[in-house]
Amino acid sequence: MKNKIYKSLLSVGLIGTLFTISCSKKIDDAYQNPNAAVVEPIESILSGVIGSFTAFYSSAGTGYGVQADAILLGRYIQYWGTTTNGENYGQMGGTVNSDNTGSVWAAVYYGQGQNVNKIIQWGTEQQKWDYVGAATAIRAWGWLELTNQYSDAPLREAFNTNLVQFHYETQPEFYDSCRAVCYRALGFLNKTDGKVSKDNLAIGDAYFFNGDVDKWKKFVYGILARSYIDLSSKQIFLTNGYADSAIKYATLSMSTNADNAAVKVAGGLTSAVNNYFGPFRGNIGSIRQASYIADLMSGNNADAFAGVADPRRWYMLRENGNKTFKGLTVWAGTTGVAAADYPQNYWGNPTATATTAPTVDSSRYLYQNTSPWPLMTASEMQFIIAEAALRKGNTSLALTAYTNAISLNFDMITSTYPQNVPVTNQITAATKAAYMSNPAVIPATSSALTLTRIMLQKYIALYGWGVHQTWIDMRKFHYTDIDPATGKQVYANFTPPSGANLLSTNNGKLVYRCRPRYNSEYLYNVPELTRIGAYQNLDYNTYEMWFSQK
C-alpha cells in the first residue's frame, strides 16, 4: 500500500515538475533574458551590411557610406559643385564641428563594425564559410576605404567594447592589415565544405553578387589591386614589385561587366529602398556638374582629347538650354554661367536654382531611384593594369588594357544606364567605334600612350560613383603634378582654388584627408586626436597622406 501511495505521489510530483518546466519554458519564450546572447540570422545581417557600402539606413542613422561623402568629396576633384556660392567644401576646406565627410567612418565602425564581427563569429560556428568570406571581404574593403579618406584611425582596438578611447594606427599598418584580411577572405571563400550554399548566400547577398562566390573572390582581388596601385607615385612602387602585384590582382579581378560589383536597390515608397542619389530621396537637387568634366567630355580641354565630343556625356552629364554641356566653377556657384548655358540638375530640372526633379522624372545614369551603384568595375581594373604597365615600361600591355578599359566603360554605360537618353544621342556600335578609332583618344602606337590619357579616361569612367578612388588618384599626382611625357599636368588644365577662394585655415595648401568623424572622435577621443594633430591644428585636413608621399 505504501508502495502504491509512493508511486502515486511520485507521479503527481513528476506531473508537477513537468508542469513547472512547461510554464517556465513558456515564460522564458515570452520574456527572454535581455542579457542573454541572441544569435540572429546572419542572412539578414549581411544584407544590411552590404547597404552600408553606399548609404546605410537604420533607425539609428542614415546616409552612412560612400554616397553621402561623395557629394562633398566630388567637389575636391571637380566632378560637381552646388548652386551655393562660397561653401567650404567647394573651397577645399574642412570643419571641426560637423559630421560632414564622416559617413565612411560611420559606415566602417558602425554600419559594418560589430555586424561584420557577428557574421564572422556566427558564420564560423555554423560553418557558413561563404558568409564568413563575404564579411571578411567587406572588412578588408572598409580598412582600405577608411585609411585612404582619413589616414590614421583605430585599427587594433577598433571593436574593443571595454574601451571608450581608442589608439590610432598609421596608413602603412592599415594597408598591411587590409591585405592580410583579403587573403583571409579568399581562404574562406575557397572553402566548399560545411554549410556553404549559393542559394543560402543569395538570401543575404540578393542586392550585390546574388550568392556568387566567384564574384566575391574577384571583388577581393580588386581590393588587393587597389591597395597596390594606390601607391603608384611612391618610389617603392617599382622597386618593391608593387606594379607587378597591381597587374596580377587586377587581372584576377573583374574582366567583364558581368563581374562588376554594384549595390542594387529595389525602389519603392520608402527612402531605405531607393538610391541615395535619386529624386525620391532628394539629396543632390542643388548639385551641378563642374566645368572641368563638362569641358573634358565636350572636347574643350586644349590638352586632353581636344575637339573630341565624348558620346558618353549624354548619359553621364546634363545638357543645358543650348543643348551643349557646360558646368560651373566649383567654388563660385552660379556666378559666371550664362542662363542658357546653365546645366540641368541630374534629375533633368533646367531651373538654375532647382533642387527638385521635374514633373516627369527624366533622371539618367546614377541618378534614378533604382540605379545600381558601382563599387568596382572591370573597366577600373583595366585602367589599373594600364597605369602599372606604363610605369613599368610595358607600353604594349598598357595600350591593350587602356583600350579595353574604355570599351568596357562604354558597354557598361549603354547596357546598364540607357534610361531617358534622347534617341538621337544614344550610343550605337558605330558611335563607339568612331570614338575609339580617334587617335586623339587611343593613340595608333603604344609609345604615344601617356599617364594623362590613362588617368583622364579613368577620371571619366569613374565619374559620379568612383569619387573616392578618383580623389586617391588626384592626390597621388598632388592635383597638378607634371606628366613627364608631355611636360604638362597629368590632369590637364585642372585648376584648384587658390587665394581668396581657398579656405584661410588651409594656409595656402590643398586638402589631402578628411578629419575623423566629429560626432564620435571629437566628443570622446580628444587625447588621441591631439597626439596626431587633428584636434589643435586647423590645417590638419591638408596633411599629405602616406600613400601620396614619394
pLDDT, residue 60, reads 53
- Calpha distance 446→18 (Å, rounded): 83
> Is there a contact between 470 and 456 (Cβ–Cβ < 8 Å)?
no
- Calpha distance 548→223 (Å, rounded): 18
Kindly tell me the burial class for residue 152, based on how many C-beta atoms sit within 10 Å of its own C-beta (0-12, 13-18, 19 or more): buried
Provide mean pLDDT across the span 483-509: 94
Looking at residue 107, the DSSP 8-state letter turns out to be I
Provide mean pLDDT across the span 104-108: 96
Residue 448 reports pLDDT greater than 60: yes
> Is there a contact between 359 and 381 (Cβ–Cβ < 8 Å)?
no
**pLDDT tens-digit readout, 392-404:** 999 999 999 999 9
Name the 3-class secondary structure at 83: coil
Q: Find the helix or strand (DSSP H, E) in which 8 lies.
A: helix 2-30
Residue among 203, 359, 276, 214 at smallest CA distance from 52: 276
pLDDT, residue 1, reads 39
> Is there a contact between 293 and 327 (Cβ–Cβ < 8 Å)?
yes
Provide mean pLDDT across the span 272-277: 94
As a whole number, the mean pLDDT across the chain is 92
What are the grid coordinates assigned to 209, written together?
553578387
Ordered structural domains, the chain, with CATH: 42-237+499-548 (1.25.40.390), 293-489 (no CATH)
Residue 435 reports pLDDT greater than 80: yes
List residues bridging with 61 in a β-sheet: 58
Kindly tell me the burial class for residue 17, based on how many C-beta atoms sit within 10 Å of its own C-beta (0-12, 13-18, 19 or more): exposed
Provide mean pLDDT across the span 396-424: 98
Task: Assign 32 a pLDDT band (cuts: 50, 70, 90).
Answer: low
Residue 268 reports pLDDT greater than 60: yes
- Which residues 6+ apart lie within 8 Å of 218 measured at CB? 252, 253, 254, 259
- Calpha distance 362→367 (Å, rounded): 9
**400 residue type, one letter:** T
pLDDT, residue 223, reads 99
Name the 3-class secondary structure at 118: helix
Task: Assign 379 a pLDDT band (cuts: 50, 70, 90).
Answer: very high
pLDDT, residue 24, reads 52
pLDDT, residue 543, reads 97
Residue 6 reports pLDDT greater than 60: no
- Which residues 6+ apart lie within 8 Å of 34 measured at CB? none
- Calpha distance 56→185 (Å, rounded): 23
- Which residues 6+ apart lie within 8 Å of 95 measured at CB? 88, 515
pLDDT, residue 227, reads 98
- Which residues 6+ apart lie within 8 Å of 268 measured at CB? 274
**pLDDT tens-digit readout, 163-193:** 999 999 999 999 999 999 999 999 999 999 9
Q: Picking from 43-47, 269-273, 276-280, 529-533, which range would have the lowest pLDDT averaged per residue? A: 269-273
Kindly tell me the burial class for residue 53, based on how many C-beta atoms sit within 10 Å of its own C-beta (0-12, 13-18, 19 or more): buried
Task: Assign 35 a pLDDT band (cuts: 50, 70, 90).
Answer: low
pLDDT, residue 449, reads 98
Q: Find the helix or strand (DSSP H, E) in which 27 lies.
A: helix 2-30
> Is there a contact between 409 and 316 (Cβ–Cβ < 8 Å)?
no
> Is there a contact between 426 and 418 (Cβ–Cβ < 8 Å)?
yes
Q: How far, CA to CA in Å, does 276 sit from each of 64, 280, 438, 519, 536?
A: 10, 8, 36, 22, 34
- Calpha distance 229→399 (Å, rounded): 17
pTM exceeds 0.85 for this model = yes
Listing DSSP states for 227-292 in one string gives: HHHTTTTSTHHHHTTHHHHHHHHHHHS--SGGG-EEE-----SSGGGS-TTSTTTTSSTTEEEBHH
- Calpha distance 309→329 (Å, rounded): 21
